[in-house]
């Protein structure tokens, strides 16, 4: 199954890379997330988000995005969230990610639940709602 094009195109535009390249990268990052989570017995939502965030930050750094301090993270937060949502959307749409599905990644509601429970919000809730409404 391929990642959804609308989210991919929007994310690729934000990162200034080709959608096909990003689509392939999202598949790779989704598998990295699956393999990492599969090695953990009963991962908590915090571990799931932290792992995905680390994978995503590493990817963005490889594309020249610098997030070494709070200002850098704030400046590129939207890109970080878009890639995280793209990866999650891909995982949700494909049943081969058994460990992630067992851990609770079965819908976008996962992000909404996480965002509502976190003290330090990454605007994930706002991004998810905006993307679900079809806004760019």
Average pLDDT value for residue range 87-112: 80
Q: pTM of the predicted model, to two decimals?
A: 0.74
Average pLDDT value for residue range 99-116: 71
For the cut 60, the answer to whether the pLDDT of residue 36 exceeds it is yes
> What does the block give as tokens for 90?
């891909």
> Which residues form the domain of 36?
5-132
Let me know: does 122 contact 80? Beta carbons within 8 Å.
Answer: yes
Number of independent structural domains in the chain = 1
Determine the Cα–Cα distance for residues 12 and 7; give it in Å rounded to an integer.
Answer: 8
Neighbours of 128 (CB within 10 A): 22
Q: Which of 42, 3, 38 is nearest to 22 (CA)?
A: 3
> What does the block give as tokens for 130?
């905006």
* Residue-averaged pLDDT of the chain: 78
What is the share, in percent, of the chain residues with pLDDT greater than 70?
68
> What is residue 98's predicted lDDT score, i.e. its pLDDT?
87
């Amino acid at each position: 199954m391929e990642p959804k094009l609308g989210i991919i195109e929007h994310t690729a535009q934000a990162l200034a890379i080709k959608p096909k390249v990003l689509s392939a990268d999202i598949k790779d990052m989704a598998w990295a997330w699956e393999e990492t989570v599969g090695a953990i017995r009963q991962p908590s939502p915090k571990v799931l988000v932290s792992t995905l965030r680390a994978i995503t930050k590493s990817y963005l750094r490889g594309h020249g995005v610098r997030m070494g301090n709070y200002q850098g993270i704030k400046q590129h937060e939207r890109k970080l969230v878009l890639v995280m949502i793209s990866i999650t959307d891909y995982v949700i749409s494909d049943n081969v990610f058994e460990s992630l599905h067992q851990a609770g990644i079965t819908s976008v509601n996962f992000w909404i639940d996480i965002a509502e429970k976190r003290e330090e919000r990454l605007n994930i809730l706002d991004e998810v709602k905006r993307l679900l409404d079809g806004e760019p």
